[in-house]
Structure 1
């Protein structure tokens, strides 16, 4: 699915998901009570209860697996972003071995890069902005600086070799971050599966017979709110780098603060 929730605040997404789920459940319950008044006699409750238990287990396993996979994707995206930011920080701080002039140039290049990442963070999931963002978030200045260094000691040579490797890894982390920002989301068939399974579990709960209308509405509302929590997690974790709930650029901000003190 496209990232249609990215421009909505968190409270609006929560209200939308919970409200639509509860409205569907309560509205469906009212319709079933009106169309099938004999359900209040509760003759079918034993069978319905058994089926709800079976469906509930299948629903929990299916949706739980999807949410767990999404959370792993979210934490992995966060770890790669932190790895990218702190790898560049170590290059800048390790530049002290080359002398104050070289270190200052390294720090300035790293700060400029991190500031570009922070500036482009909100737009990195937009495919139309990807070319501009990649151009702004270039590591070429750091590669050029390392290429200009002429190490004179074993320690300096070791630093240049290690910094070159870290810079190469940082480029890979950047490309993976930009790729994930635009493509990392739950596939449409899985969305259909989650919504369908949620609808089925609510439908079977609606089929329970109760004489008290308001008690019935209260119970179905509680079930609907529980189901909506699962749906909300799926929605919020859907775009780890560009959604409503997204990995923050705090690691890049921390590097900028440390290098500009």
Structure 2
């Protein structure tokens, strides 16, 4: 989808600046044309109707944008929670290695470390909608490393069973994360149509509002244009939970790598 390509390939600051210039600048340019071609609009004869329409449209616009921002932010929070659950399960696997024999412990630690590195490398690839087979391969190696353990006593049996449960939790969290990242298309075209329509109505009402002083009118339209541009930027960034400046982070997986990596000398 176009919105995902935009968020992935255009830096956040550049996207914000471009939207402000495009929306606010375009609105001011249209306003200049309207004021010259329809000079009667600068009078306040139609302001009662415009003021009522502006109030209704502004309320609907504010409600809709607020609802969208809340829903999209909740989606990012859910993905953050999913990533933390995945990282927590992996850290617990690392903590439980102490009860196993040295050979088993070293083999599992290496397999878990390789998987976490592959999972971090997979993160941006999955966010762009592509597969990363190496992550699947290293996860299979991790399962195989645990299956080779032959517990010597009840303690190792208990911890091995717990490790398999945590491994399953980590696997399920990763599957959900990868599916969500690969299939994420952001808000549908229907929602974007409503967003753009209400944004255009808000700008249109500010343009046709009767203000005799050009400087005041231009300032009003530019301010509304900047507000609309910022809202569009926010919806674009929030619409994709795994890409962009506001996306969820693979930091929980990096924490696992930090726990598993030997201390530097």
> Does TM, normalized by the shorter one, top 0.5?
yes
Q: Which residue is equivalent to 1:157? A: 157
Find the aligned partners of 1:100 and 1:159 in 2 and give their Cα distance: 15
Q: Which residue is equivalent to 1:209? A: 210
CA shift, 1:133, in A, is 5.3
Q: Is this contact kept in 1: 2:115–2:135, CA < 8 A?
A: no
Q: Which residue is equivalent to 2:19? A: 17
Q: What aligned pairs does 1:47-196 form with structure 2 within 5 A after superposition?
A: 47-127=49-129, 129-130=130-131, 132=133, 134-136=135-137, 138-184=138-184, 185-196=186-197
Find the aligned partners of 1:254 and 1:134 in 2 and give their Cα distance: 17
Residue deviations 1:116-175, cap 9 Å, x none?
122232221233x31535545x41122112212222333222212221111112111111
- The count of residues paired between Structure 1 and Structure 2 equals 259
Find the aligned partners of 2:141 and 2:235 in 1 and give their Cα distance: 40
Q: Say what the alpha-carbon RMSD is for the aligned residues.
A: 1.7
CA shift, 1:86, in A, is 2.2
Q: Cα 1:71–1:236, aligned 2, differ >3 Å: closer, same or farther?
A: same
Find the aligned partners of 2:56 and 2:87 in 1 and give their Cα distance: 47
Q: Could you tell which deviates more after superposition, 25-34 or 69-78?
A: 25-34
CA shift, 1:71, in A, is 0.6
Q: Is this contact kept in 1: 2:119–2:135, CA < 8 A?
A: no
Q: Cα 1:103–1:134, aligned 2, differ >3 Å: closer, same or farther?
A: closer
Task: Using structure 2 for the length normalisation, give the TM-score.
Answer: 0.91
Structure 2: runs of 5+ lacking an equivalent? none
Q: What aligned pairs does 1:195-234 form with structure 2 within 5 A after superposition?
A: 195-234=196-235
Residue deviations 1:43-64, cap 9 Å, x none?
1112211211111111111111
Q: Which residue is equivalent to 2:242? A: 241
Task: Using structure 1 for the length normalisation, give the TM-score.
Answer: 0.92
Moved over 4 A (4+): none
Q: Could you tell which deviates more after superposition, 138-147 or 55-64?
A: 138-147
Q: Is this contact kept in 2: 1:124–1:242, CA < 8 A?
A: no
Find the aligned partners of 2:59 and 2:127 in 1 and give their Cα distance: 35
Structure 1: runs of 5+ lacking an equivalent? none
Q: Is this contact kept in 1: 2:115–2:142, CA < 8 A?
A: no
Q: Is this contact kept in 1: 2:122–2:132, CA < 8 A?
A: no
The equivalent position to 2:29 in structure 1, one of 14, 27, 32, is 27
Q: Could you tell which deviates more after superposition, 52-61 or 247-256?
A: 247-256
Residue deviations 1:58-116, cap 9 Å, x none?
11111111111111111111221121122112112211111333222222112111111
